Amino acid sequence: MSLPIAELVPPHIRAFEAYVPSKPDPELMRAYKVDHLHRLNNNENALGPPPAAARILAGFETPRASIYPSGDCYTLRQALGERFGKDPERFLVGNGSCEVIASVIKAFCDKGDNIVTADKTFAVYEWVAEFSGFQARLIPLKDYGYDDMGMLRAMDGRTKILFVCNPNNPTGTWWDRDRMERFLRVVDGRAIVVLDEAYREYVDDERFPDGMELMERHPNVVVFRTFSKMYALAGLRVGYVCGQKEVVDYIRRTHIVYSVNILGQPAAAAALMDDAEHIPATRAMVARAKELLLPAFDELGLEHVSGAGNFVMVRTPVSDSLIYRQLMRRGVMVRTMTGFRFPNWIRVSLVQEPVMRDFLTAFRDVIALSRSDGQP
């Protein structure tokens, strides 16, 4: 018999899967009996934050921990405004960009509304929509990229938000300016278009459409960015949304204040101001990692997919979760892709060369094992 508590819960929540974060590293190391663990599962930037941000962290005076932070990230928004040449009121900062995903959905969706996104992309758009009781229309990727025509066809009068992950996690594909412009013209302001640019700082290509510029001509465009990826502040949880003032004003009504901590705010602002060397250094690290990994995957005869972003996907001859467990036993943590609807693929974050070499040694081992008897 169900507990009375369960009877209080609406059906869409009962049916919903709670996201189960992985266990802390020491727990995992104990469970898999290893003395080190390379984290290649979350696309973190292994270089660490830019020096100015690192100094803020090192110089943090502990008594300040007892003080509330700015409730609306006042200083950080000033920095963002300055950096992008926009009114600071047009930025809304959250506890990671995941938090602003929820704020946007709450602001625009009502009972019976839907959102449109891809089937094989970052899961949070779909999750937040569904546990809030809104339908998520999931359009299959086409050639590993978002299918613009498919998304447009799926739109109807109740579609409030189109989520485009540009570049896409986990395939690294992105729409160029022309394709984005065409898409926005057809949407024609009928729905909010969210461009999740979590990995945009990894793209070094002038054909990449800049959401910050698009929103000036298309007021329904909203851009998400994060300090978790390129800026290497994932542990402090800072992300933001930017859009036209009117749009952001609506989102603010559903947004939680005081959700960004007192250390994250100045660290993010400092990181933003000190990225001139950090970004090229990170890109170089990623490029070098790709030079190592991609030929090795080819040599092993394994299909792989990568584009923009600090990650690659590789197709495994056996179940991705089996490869995960075998790699864990060798001190390497990757992401299984079944949850991204890419069964038998893993995603590997691109980091410094020595770690990539360790990964390759372990990976070759595991693949050889899987080929010797059909399973390790």
Partner 1 sequence: MPASHPQSLMVELPPDVAFLPAAAAAAENAAQVFGLDRSGALKLALAVEEFFSYLCRYAGREEPLRLTLSHGGTFVRMAFRFRAGEVSLRALNFAASVDVEGGGDSAHEEHDAELGLLVASRTTDRCSLESSGAGVYVLLAEVDRQYPEAEPLRSEQVLSGPVRVANPDGAPASEGQLRHAALLAAGRYPARSCPASFHRPARFADMVAYGQYHALLASDAAGRPAGLICWRGSGPRSVVFSGPYVFDANPDHTLAKETARLLTERFLAAVARTEPVCAFSERPTADVPEGWFESLGTLTLRGLTAEGDEGGEPETQAALFRHLREDVGGAVWAHPDMVPFLERQYDRLAFSRDILTTEERPIQRAPEHSLLATSFDRRRGLAILRPLLDGQDFAANLAAHVAALEEQAPEGQPGGAMPDILLHLDLSEPWQAALYPAISACGFQPRLILPHAGSSDLLVCQHVPANR
Ligand X SMILES: Cc1ncc(COP(=O)(O)O)c(C=O)c1O
Alpha carbon separation from 180 to 152, 199, 304, 369 (Å, rounded): 12, 17, 26, 44
Residue 198 binding: pick among partner 1, ligand X, none (C-beta 5-8 Å cut-off by kind): ligand X
Q: How far is the CB of 234 from ligand X (least distance, A)?
A: 6
Residue 276 binding: pick among ligand X, partner 1, none (C-beta 5-8 Å cut-off by kind): none
| 22 part of the interface to partner 1, by CB under 8 A | yes
Task: Name, in order, each residue with C-beta under 8 angstroms of 3's C-beta and a sequence gap of 6 or more.
Answer: none
Kindly identify the residues of this chain, within the stretch 117-156, that bind partner 1 according to CB under 8 A.
119, 123, 126-127, 137-138, 140
The distance from CA 51 to its chain's CA centroid, rounded to whole angstroms, is: 23
Nearer to partner 1, 146 or 324 (CB): 324
Residue 297 binding: pick among ligand X, partner 1, none (C-beta 5-8 Å cut-off by kind): none
| 307 part of the interface to ligand X, by CB under 6 A | no
For the CA atoms of 119, 143, 98, 267, the dihedral, rounded to the nearest 10 degrees, stands at 170
How many binding residues for ligand X (CB under 6 A)? Answer: 13
| 31 part of the interface to partner 1, by CB under 8 A | yes
Kindly identify the residues of this chain, within the stretch 316-345, that bind partner 1 according to CB under 8 A.
317-319, 321-322, 324-326, 328-329, 335-336, 338-341, 343-344
Alpha carbon distance 154, 211 (integer Å) = 23
Kindly identify the residues of this chain, within the stretch 15-44, that bind ligand X according to CB under 6 A.
43
Vertex 60 angle, CA 58 and 64, to 5°:
165
Stretch that binds ligand X, among 15-23, 93-101, 132-140, 285-293 (CB under 6 A): 93-101
Nearer to partner 1, 18 or 67 (CB): 18
φ/ψ of residue 164, rounded to 5 = -120, 120
φ/ψ of residue 348, rounded to 5 = -120, 125
Kindly identify the residues of this chain, within the stretch 206-265, that bind ligand X according to CB under 6 A.
226, 228, 234, 239
Q: Are 243 and 222 in contact (CB under 8 A)?
A: yes
Residue 326 binding: pick among partner 1, ligand X, none (C-beta 5-8 Å cut-off by kind): partner 1
Taking residue 374's Cβ as centre, other Cβ atoms within 10 Å add up to 8
From the number of C-beta atoms within 10 Å of its C-beta (0-12, 13-18, 19+), residue 169 rates as buried
| 98 part of the interface to ligand X, by CB under 6 A | yes
Nearer to partner 1, 168 or 336 (CB): 336
Residue 189 binding: pick among partner 1, ligand X, none (C-beta 5-8 Å cut-off by kind): none
Kindly report the length of the chain: 376
Kindly identify the residues of this chain, within the stretch 160-179, that bind ligand X according to CB under 6 A.
165, 169
- Binding residues for ligand X, per CB under 6 A? 43, 96-98, 122, 165, 169, 196, 198, 226, 228, 234, 239
- Binding residues for partner 1, per CB under 8 A? 1, 15-18, 20, 22-23, 27-28, 31-33, 41, 119, 123, 126-127, 137-138, 140, 317-319, 321-322, 324-326, 328-329, 335-336, 338-341, 343-344, 374-376
